[in-house]
Amino acid sequence: MFKKTYDWIDERLNITPIWRDVADHDVPAHVNPANKMSAFVYCFGGLTFLIIVTQILSGMFLAMYYVPDIVNAYRSVQYITDEVLLGNIVRGMHFWGASLVIIMMFLHMLRVFFTGAYKAPRELNWVVGVLIFFVVMAFGFTGYLLPWDQKAYWATAVGAQIAETVPFVGPYIKTLLIGGDILGALTLTRFFAIHVFFLPAALLGLLGLHFIMIRKSGIAGPL
């Protein structure tokens, strides 16, 4: 049944050359699983991507129940945790994954740095990777406010005050973030929109560019 379905799709879209091009791509010897330590170090990028996919899927689940207003935000989070089937597990995955993805990305960037993989001809890919790191950090900052509890509120207030200290443009950045002089309904709505619309669009675009350049330049050699 599966083969018939695949053949029917392949006859119309010719998908076999696409996945065969990926599957048949040679892997450098220093990334060979036989060298366990080297292969493990080179897995940080793939593990980061796996966690990002998990964050996207769990976030889509949470978004079906979350209400981005100051009256119902905390209640909706409680409802997800206490009432929704497997809601506590999915929320826990999303919560801990937000920290884990930063750790794995940091380890991946350390590997790239210490193996010299940021040098020519991969300088642009390093820049894109740094931009991805900033986007992931922005995910953490905007998502932290969404439960709308005391810890989230005051942590965001501190973050806004830090942003205000940026020379010349600090006050404008703070106003852009919180939507006014104080944290309120507009702040929560703005953070939610940034978290689920703007940042995912930026992340997917940067990841696509990152993978294209990896495909073009190949995996960097050992130290």
Note the pLDDT tens digit of each residue in 105-127: 999 999 999 988 999 889 999 99
* 62 within some domain: yes
Q: Is residue 11 part of a domain?
A: no
Does residue 6 belong to any structural domain of this protein?
no
> What is the CA 86 to chain-centroid distance, rounded?
22
Burial of 37 (0-12, 13-18, 19+ CB in 10 A): exposed
CATH number at residue 136: 1.20.810.10
Written as six digits, the tokens of 30 are: 């220093």
By residue range, what is the domain housing residue 176? 28-114+122-217
Asked if residue 97 is part of any domain, the answer here is yes
pTM exceeds 0.85 for this model? yes
User: Which of these, 72, 198, 77, 205, lies nearest to 141 by C-alpha position?
Assistant: 198
Both tokens of 46, joined, read 């793939």
pLDDT along the chain (223 residues), means of 10: 88 87 74 67 91 97 96 97 96 97 96 90 95 97 96 95 93 90 92 97 97 86 68
As for how many domains the chain has, the answer is: 1
Task: Reduce the DSSP state of residue 198 to 3 states and report it.
Answer: helix
Q: Quick check: is 2 in a domain?
A: no
The verdict on residue 16 lying in a domain is no
pLDDT tens digits for range 178-203 = 988 889 999 999 999 999 999 999 99
Residue 195 placed within a domain: yes
In a domain, 223, yes or no: no
